[in-house]
Structure 1
Amino acid sequence: MSSPKDPCIGVCKFTDDICIGCGRTKREIKAWKKLDKDEKRVVLAESALRLLAFEATGRRKKK
């Protein structure tokens, strides 16, 4: 399997240390290139949950 693609959509605005564009924390964004495939998949799963929470509260900006 290939490495997961970087989920950045170029919004890069943060609420409580979480990007409202991709759902990753600043730490996860900084570490992205150094993570292995499995770690990236975990980050993607966690960020997807954060984005769902943002959408539920109306804090997420659309692409």
Structure 2
Amino acid sequence: MRGLLCGPEFISQALQDWCKEESVELCWIEPGKPTQNAYIKRFNGTYRRVVLDAHIFTSIR
């Protein structure tokens, strides 16, 4: 779709812009250090399996 910006590079830039406007500090993990993100990756996987996969959503809202 022309004009629709939805790839990860656009989402990333939109997130960075919003954080700057709202004075939110982003903390990045170091390249090659996936263990710095292990807790949230585990949480996201568990949440996806236990909550999201257990329900059928008819809309994003």
Q: TM-score, normalised by structure 1?
A: 0.34
Higher RCO (C-alpha 8 Å, min separation 6)? 1
Which has a greater percent of strand?
Answer: 1
Normalised to the residue count of structure 2, the TM-score between the two structures is: 0.35
Bigger proportion of residues as helix:
2
Bigger Cα Rg:
2
